[in-house]
C-alpha cells in the first residue's frame, strides 16, 4: 500500500470511474454504487445508492432518546454512541442492499461542518474502510448534501435558491452547480433549531405528557398548534439590518425573559410547566418563521435584481431538520407565492440527517468527476466550514427593503 499523504482538495485531479456490475435484491444491474456515511451530529447513518438515485439499502441509528434524558447533545456522549454503532449501521446498509464492499465504486462521508468529535468517528471509520477495500473516497460538505437532496427526488435544474435550516445551521445560498454555491446569508449566532430546542428545555416541555418523547422543536410545533401566538408578540430579529443573515440569540433572550416574568406571575419555580406554555410555543414558532420568511424574501428580491435565478420557474428549495416544521413551510409558501417562486421541500425523513443524502451527494460528484480522492489520501474534518463563495457583503450593500407581507397561517 502506498503511504498516505496530505492533499489540497482544490488542486487534486479528478478521477473518472468505470461502472461496475452488481446484483441487488436479486436484480442484476450495471451501475456505479456509492456508500454514504453520516456522523456530523447525533445520528449515525449509512446508505448504498446507485448512480440513478435508487436507494438499495440504508440504516440509521438515532441518539435522540439518550440526548433527551441529558437535556441536550453532549459531544463526548455523541462520539461514544457513534463509535458503538457505526460498524453495525454500515454493515446493515450493505447487507440490505445486497452489495459487498468490493462492488462499491466509492465511499462518500460527511467531513464538514458539524461536531468535531462526531465527524472524527465517521472519517476515521471511512478512511480505514476505503484503505482496506482500495476504494475512492468522496469528502462531503453536510450543507451541500442537504441542498442537493431534492434533486434525488425530482429534476431540479441549476441555479436555484436554497434555504438550509437545522439545529446547527441556517443559511441562504444560490446553488449554481453540484459544488458551486453563492452564500447570501448565514446565522450570526445560533441556528433556529437550536433556539427552539433551548426554549423547549427552558419550558421543561419534556415533562409535558404530550411531549415526553419529542425533540424540543417537535414539542414546540405540537403545542403551538393549540396556542395563541398573539399573546406574546416577540420582536422579529434584525428588523433594521437589510441583509440576509440570521440572528436568533436575541429572540431567545426575549423569550427567556418572558418565561421568567410569567413564572413570577404564576408563582412557580423554574422547571414547572406554565399554564400558558402553548401560547409561548406558538409565539416562539411564529417569530422564528417570520424571521426566516423575511430574510428569504430579501434573498429572492436580491437574486431577481442580480439575475441569479432563471426568469422562468425560479425555485426555492428548503431543507434541513427545521424544514420539517409545517408552520415554517406555510410561512415560506406565502413568500414564494408573493414572489412567483416554486417552493420545494424534501419529505421530512430526508430533511433530517441521514446516510441517503450523503450517498446522493456522492453520486452527484461521481457523475461529474468532482472531489473524488484516491483511497490513500489523508483528509481532515472541519467543524466549521463555509458553503461556497461568500457574497453576504454584496447583499448587505444592496440594502433591499422588503415590502410587508402578512403571514396569516392557520394550523
Query: Which residues, in sequence order, are bridge partners of residue 344?
Result: 317
What pLDDT was estimated at residue 23?
A: 39
Q: Tell me, yes or no, whether 149 lies in a domain.
A: no
Report the distance separating Cα 312 and Cα 86, nearest Å: 44
> Tens of pLDDT along 181-223?
999 999 999 999 999 999 999 999 999 999 999 999 999 999 9
Q: Tell me, yes or no, whether 48 lies in a domain.
A: yes
The average pLDDT across 315-344 equals 96
pTM summary value: 0.89
> Tens of pLDDT along 159-185?
999 999 998 889 999 999 999 999 999
- Picking from 275, 291, 282, the residue whose alpha carbon sits closest to that of residue 255 is 282
Report the distance separating Cα 375 and Cα 243, nearest Å: 42
What pLDDT was estimated at residue 71?
A: 76
Report the distance separating Cα 368 and Cα 155, nearest Å: 16
Q: Tell me, yes or no, whether 142 lies in a domain.
A: no
Whether residue 254 sits in one domain with residue 110:
no
Query: Which residues, in sequence order, are bridge partners of residue 174?
Result: 161, 182
- Picking from 238, 322, 233, the residue whose alpha carbon sits closest to that of residue 280 is 233
Q: Tell me, yes or no, whether 124 lies in a domain.
A: yes
Whether residue 208 sits in one domain with residue 76:
no
In this structure, what DSSP letter does residue 215 have? -
Give me 310's grid cell: 432563471
Determine how β-strand 106-112 pairs with β-strand 137-141. parallel
* 25 pLDDT more than 90: no
Scored b (16 or more CB within 10 A) or e, 77-91 reads bbbebbbebbeebbe
The average pLDDT across 95-105 equals 97
Report the distance separating Cα 196 and Cα 390, nearest Å: 27
Scored b (16 or more CB within 10 A) or e, 21-42 reads ebebeeeeeebbbbbbbbbbbb
* 77 pLDDT more than 90: yes
- Picking from 187, 158, 159, the residue whose alpha carbon sits closest to that of residue 172 is 187
Report the distance separating Cα 232 and Cα 230, nearest Å: 5
The average pLDDT across 69-84 equals 90
Whether residue 213 sits in one domain with residue 99:
no
DSSP H/E element including 74: none
Q: Tell me, yes or no, whether 118 lies in a domain.
A: yes
Give me the residue label for grid cell 464538514: 112
Q: How many CB atoms lie within 10 A of CB 231?
A: 13
What pLDDT was estimated at residue 30?
A: 56
> Tens of pLDDT along 221-233?
999 999 999 999 9
Percentage of the chain beyond pLDDT 70 is 92
> Tens of pLDDT along 366-395?
999 999 999 999 999 999 999 999 999 999
Average pLDDT, the chain: 91
With cut-offs at 50, 70 and 90, classify the pLDDT of residue 334: very high
What pLDDT was estimated at residue 411?
A: 63
- Picking from 273, 226, 280, the residue whose alpha carbon sits closest to that of residue 252 is 280
* 7 pLDDT more than 80: no
* 404 pLDDT more than 70: yes
H-state helical runs in 98-182: 116-133, 142-153
Whether residue 253 sits in one domain with residue 121:
no
Whether residue 282 sits in one domain with residue 164:
yes
Q: Is the peptide bond before 179 cis (omega within 30 degrees of 0)?
A: no
Report the distance separating Cα 99 and Cα 171, nearest Å: 36
What pLDDT was estimated at residue 40?
A: 95
Whether residue 248 sits in one domain with residue 231:
yes
* 119 pLDDT more than 90: yes
The average pLDDT across 346-358 equals 92
Longest dimension (CA), the chain: 70
Whether residue 364 sits in one domain with residue 237:
no
Whether residue 257 sits in one domain with residue 324:
yes
Whether residue 283 sits in one domain with residue 232:
yes
Q: Could you give the angle at which helices 326-339 and 277-306 cross, rounded to 10 degrees?
A: 30
Whether residue 118 sits in one domain with residue 62:
yes
Choose between 259 and 321: higher pLDDT. 259
Whether residue 185 sits in one domain with residue 88:
no
* 8 pLDDT more than 50: no
Q: Tell me, yes or no, whether 148 lies in a domain.
A: no
The average pLDDT across 253-279 equals 96
Q: What CATH number should be reported for the domain holding residue 57?
A: 3.30.420.40
- Picking from 377, 381, 374, 383, the residue whose alpha carbon sits closest to that of residue 7 is 377
| Total tally of structural domains belonging to the chain | 2
Question: DSSP letters of 331-358?
Answer: HHHHHHHHHTPEEE---HHHHS--HHHH
The average pLDDT across 279-289 equals 97
Whether residue 205 sits in one domain with residue 334:
yes
Secondary structure of residue 329 in the 3-state scheme: helix
What pLDDT was estimated at residue 2?
A: 31
In this structure, what DSSP letter does residue 238 have? T
* 5 pLDDT more than 60: no
Report the distance separating Cα 128 and Cα 103, nearest Å: 17
* 96 pLDDT more than 80: yes
Report the distance separating Cα 43 and Cα 81, nearest Å: 9
What pLDDT was estimated at residue 260?
A: 97
DSSP H/E element including 189: none
With cut-offs at 50, 70 and 90, classify the pLDDT of residue 239: confident
Q: Tell me, yes or no, whether 145 lies in a domain.
A: no
Q: Range of 57's domain?
A: 5-135+353-379
End-to-end, the C-alpha distance of the chain in Å comes to 60
Report the distance separating Cα 244 and Cα 337, nearest Å: 19
What pLDDT was estimated at residue 37?
A: 98
Amino acid at each position: 500500500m502506498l503511504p498516505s499523504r496530505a492533499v489540497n482538495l482544490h488542486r487534486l485531479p479528478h478521477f473518472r470511474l468505470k461502472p461496475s456490475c452488481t446484483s441487488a435484491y436479486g436484480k442484476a444491474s450495471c451501475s456505479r454504487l456509492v456508500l454514504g456515511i453520516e456522523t456530523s451530529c447525533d445520528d449515525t447513518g449509512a446508505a448504498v445508492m446507485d448512480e440513478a438515485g435508487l436507494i438499495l439499502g440504508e440504516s440509521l441509528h438515532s441518539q435522540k432518546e439518550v440526548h433527551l434524558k441529558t437535556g441536550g447533545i453532549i459531544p463526548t456522549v455523541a462520539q461514544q454512541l457513534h463509535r458503538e454503532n457505526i460498524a453495525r449501521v454500515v454493515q446493515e446498509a450493505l447487507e440490505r442492499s445486497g452489495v459487498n464492499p468490493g462492488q462499491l465504486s466509492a465511499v462518500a462521508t460527511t467531513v464538514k461542518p458539524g461536531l468535531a468529535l462526531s465527524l472524527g468517528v465517521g472519517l476515521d471509520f471511512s478512511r480505514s474502510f476505503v484503505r482496506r477495500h482500495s476504494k475512492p473516497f468522496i469528502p462531503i460538505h453536510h450543507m451541500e448534501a442537504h441542498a442537493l437532496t431534492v434533486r434525488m427526488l425530482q429534476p431540479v435544474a441549476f441555479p436555484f435558491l436554497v434555504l438550509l435550516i437545522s439545529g446547527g445551521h441556517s443559511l441562504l445560498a444560490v446553488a449554481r452547480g453540484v459544488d458551486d454555491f453563492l452564500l447570501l446569508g448565514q446565522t450570526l449566532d445560533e441556528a433556529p433549531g437550536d433556539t427552539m430546542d433551548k426554549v423547549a428545555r427552558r419550558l421543561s416541555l419534556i415533562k409535558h405528557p404530550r411531549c415526553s418523547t419529542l425533540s424540543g422543536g417537535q414539542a414546540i410545533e405540537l403545542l403551538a398548534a393549540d396556542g395563541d401566538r398573539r399573546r406574546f408578540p416577540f420582536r422579529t430579529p434584525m428588523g433594521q439590518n437589510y441583509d440576509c443573515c440570521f440572528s436568533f440569540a436575541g429572540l431567545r433572550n426575549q423569550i427567556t425573559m418572558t418565561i421568567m416574568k410569567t413564572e413570577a406571575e404564576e408563582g412557580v419555580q423554574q422547571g414547572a410547566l406554565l399554564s400558558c406554555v402553548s401560547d409561548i410555543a406558538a409565539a416562539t414558532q411564529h417569530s422564528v418563521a417570520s424571521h426566516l420568511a423575511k430574510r428569504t424574501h430579501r434573498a429572492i428580491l436580491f437574486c431577481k435584481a442580480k439575475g441569479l435565478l432563471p426568469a422562468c420557474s425560479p425555485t426555492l428549495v428548503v431543507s434541513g431538520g427545521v424544514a420539517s416544521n409545517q408552520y415554517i413551510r406555510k410561512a415560506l409558501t406565502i413568500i414564494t407565492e408573493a414572489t412567483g417562486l416554486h417552493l420545494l421541500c424534501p419529505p421530512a425523513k430526508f430533511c433530517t440527517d441521514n446516510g441517503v443524502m450523503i450517498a446522493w451527494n456522492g453520486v452527484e460528484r461521481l457523475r461529474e468527476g468532482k472531489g473524488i480522492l484516491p483511497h490513500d489520501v489523508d483528509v481532515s474534518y472541519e467543524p466549521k466550514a463555509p458553503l461556497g463563495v461568500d457574497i453576504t457583503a454584496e447583499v448587505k450593500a444592496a440594502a433591499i427593503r422588503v415590502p410587508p407581507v402578512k403571514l396569516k397561517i392557520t394550523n
